[in-house]
């Protein structure tokens, strides 16, 4: 546990490298990638889905299975999930414009959640989507502030469930929100690329579990 103060300081340093502005207009975004990880015992099942923004057609799907190196510790999710995600992303052959990660971006106590860390690693526009709030104060318009800086927004998908959207890297918050809202299709908590990645990772986990139990 003595190493966590050092990692916390590293997160603070890395947070200064995050770009929270658009490097390209939203109408230039065509291919959106979602990535998610499911777990069983000491294994991580990662799925990455590259999807057409307008047709919702899957362009490419890749999966990986790897060992879990770290337990889940709030605020240090990148230690557990970054390696499985990066392993899956490296398998992609197709190009993507934006990556959506199941985890916070700058909406994080040290402004360096999983999505921002992955964004820095892949050096691509990245959006964070999380199911629960780690920190911050929500205003009447559902924007979340940390130390008086707006860092994210709570949005509701199709149904009553909500998620928290924040900048990962190389994209603005408003573009992140608009793109995520556009990518909701059927019932579900997540926008379509991330929802599909979530389903694929769970499918891979269930398949492994059924084989392991035989």
What average pLDDT does the segment 108-132 reach?
A: 97
pLDDT at 214 over 80: no
pLDDT band at 185 (very low <50, low <70, confident <90, very high): confident
Is-contact 126 119, C-beta < 8 A?
A: yes
What average pLDDT does the segment 35-63 reach?
A: 96
Break the chain into its structural domains and give their ranges.
4-212
How many Å apart are CA 44 and CA 65, to the nearest integer?
Answer: 6
Q: Helix or strand or coil: residue 185?
A: coil
Range from 75-79, 116-120, 140-144, 186-190 carrying the lowest mean pLDDT: 186-190
pLDDT at position 170 is: 98
Q: Tell me the torsion sign for CA atoms 96, 101, 198, 186.
A: negative
pLDDT at position 213 is: 63
pLDDT at 159 over 70: no
pLDDT at 158 over 80: no
pLDDT at 112 over 60: yes
The share of the chain scoring above pLDDT 90, in percent, equals: 84
For residue 113, CA distances in Å to 65, 128, 133, 149, 150 come to 22, 8, 12, 16, 15
pLDDT at position 22 is: 96
Over the stretch 58-94, which tens digit does the pLDDT of each residue have?
999 999 999 998 888 989 999 999 999 999 999 999 9
Q: Tell me the torsion sign for CA atoms 16, 20, 21, 26.
A: positive
The neighbour count for residue 14, using CB atoms within 10 Å, is 16
pLDDT at 121 over 60: yes
Structure tokens, 194: 């991330």
More confident residue, 93 or 186: 93
What is the fold of 4-212? archaeoglobus fulgidus dsm 4304 fold (3.30.2170)
Enter the pTM of the model. 0.95
Strands 137-138 and 126-130: unpaired
**Closest CA relative to residue 35, chosen from 87, 112, 80:** 87
């Amino acid at each position: 546990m003595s190493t966590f103060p050092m990692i916390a300081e590293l997160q603070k340093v890395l947070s200064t490298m995050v770009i929270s502005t658009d490097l390209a207009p939203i109408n230039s975004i065509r291919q959106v990638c979602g990535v998610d990880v499911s777990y069983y015992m000491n294994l991580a099942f990662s799925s990455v889905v590259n999807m057409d923004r307008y047709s919702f057609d899957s362009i490419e799907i890749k999966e990986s299975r790897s060992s879990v190196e770290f337990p889940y510790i709030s605020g240090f999710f990148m230690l557990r999930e970054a390696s499985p995600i990066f392993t899956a992303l490296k398998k992609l052959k197709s190009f993507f414009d934006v990556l959506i990660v199941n985890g916070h971006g700058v909406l994080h106590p040290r402004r360096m959640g999983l999505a921002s860390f992955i964004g820095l690693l892949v050096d691509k526009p990245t959006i964070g989507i999380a199911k629960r709030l780690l920190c911050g104060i929500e205003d009447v318009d559902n924007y979340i502030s940390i130390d008086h800086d707006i860092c994210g927004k709570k949005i509701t998908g199709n149904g009553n469930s909500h998620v928290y959207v924040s900048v990962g890297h190389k994209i603005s918050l408003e573009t992140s929100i608009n793109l995520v809202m556009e990518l909701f299709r059927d019932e579900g908590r997540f926008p379509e690329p991330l929802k599909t990645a979530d389903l694929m990772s769970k499918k891979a986990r269930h398949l492994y579990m059924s084989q392991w139990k035989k």
